[in-house]
């Protein structure tokens, strides 16, 4: 699972101005990273220019199996991210990616005192914070606590069911063993009785 990119931008009219960006490309070949970074910026900016204000937008790239997600609030401040299919589908309807977008937005607005428009044509210095978010949310469970708890419960439930099944199988095996032991005891008693009778007959002779 990979969270590849986090980007902040300001939507002005039909254009989106980058405020900061951070990428995690260690899983990509060294000579491919520059092209991937450029493609990520282009893709997110294109989606941001067309996304509906106040609505979370997720677009899947069928060719590479990645999701590009964008959210823009009423003030025009937006967050974009790119993640692979496994990361997005970790939680229902990409809940983890939505949580990340909202948290990054709240943090940026708080630290910039909502005075972000002055930075619309240049990077704001928020890139270091975006790098921190990339590390913090490297695993989707860090963003979607409820989803992580649900998966833990599912895992635990599966283990309990497996253990119950094993115990039932062990119980059936024990029942068969007891039945076989009873049969063996019955055969042994019968053999012992017949042996005694035969021994008595031999003694009389």
**121: pLDDT confidence band, cut at 50, 70 and 90?**
very low
What pLDDT sits at residue 79?
A: 92
Least confidently predicted of 53-67, 116-130, 184-198: 116-130
Give the Cβ contact number of residue 90 at 10 Å. 21
The pair of three-digit structure tokens given for residue 177, joined into one six-digit string: 């063993």
Place of tokens 């677009």: 59
* 29 contacts: CB under 8 Å, gap ≥ 6: none
What pLDDT sits at residue 40?
A: 85
**11: pLDDT confidence band, cut at 50, 70 and 90?**
confident
pLDDT tens, 128-159? 788 888 888 888 777 665 565 566 666 777 67
Over the Cα atoms of the chain, what is R_g?
A: 33
**61: pLDDT confidence band, cut at 50, 70 and 90?**
confident
Which residue intervals of 9-53 are DSSP H helices? 33-50
* 129 contacts: CB under 8 Å, gap ≥ 6: 20, 107, 108, 111
Which residue intervals of the chain are DSSP H helices? 33-50, 85-88, 95-112, 127-136, 145-204
* pLDDT of 68 higher than 60: yes
pLDDT tens, 37-50? 888 888 898 998 88
What pLDDT sits at residue 122?
A: 41
What pLDDT sits at residue 123?
A: 47
**Which of the pair, 25 or 199, is modelled with greater confidence?**
25
What pLDDT sits at residue 15?
A: 85
């Amino acid at each position: 699972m990979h969270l590849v990119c986090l980007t902040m931008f300001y939507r002005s009219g039909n254009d989106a101005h980058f405020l900061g960006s951070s990428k995690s490309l260690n899983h990509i070949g060294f000579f491919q990273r520059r092209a991937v970074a450029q493609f990520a910026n282009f893709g997110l900016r294109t989606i941001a220019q067309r996304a509906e204000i106040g609505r979370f937008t997720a677009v899947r790239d069928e060719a590479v199996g990645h999701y590009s997600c964008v959210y823009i609030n009423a003030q025009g401040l937006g967050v974009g991210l790119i993640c692979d299919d496994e990361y997005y589908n970790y939680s229902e309807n990409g809940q983890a990616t939505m949580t990340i977008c909202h948290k990054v937005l709240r943090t940026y607005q708080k630290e910039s005192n909502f005075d972000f428009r002055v930075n619309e044509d240049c990077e704001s210095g928020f890139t270091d914070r975006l790098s921190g978010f990339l590390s913090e949310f490297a695993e989707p469970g860090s963003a979607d606590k409820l989803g992580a708890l649900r998966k833990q419960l599912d895992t635990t439930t599966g283990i309990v069911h497996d253990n119950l099944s094993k115990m039932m199988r062990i119980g059936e095996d024990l029942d068969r063993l007891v039945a076989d032991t009873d049969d063996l005891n019955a055969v042994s008693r019968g053999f012992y009785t017949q042996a005694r009778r035969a021994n008595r007959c031999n003694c009389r002779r």
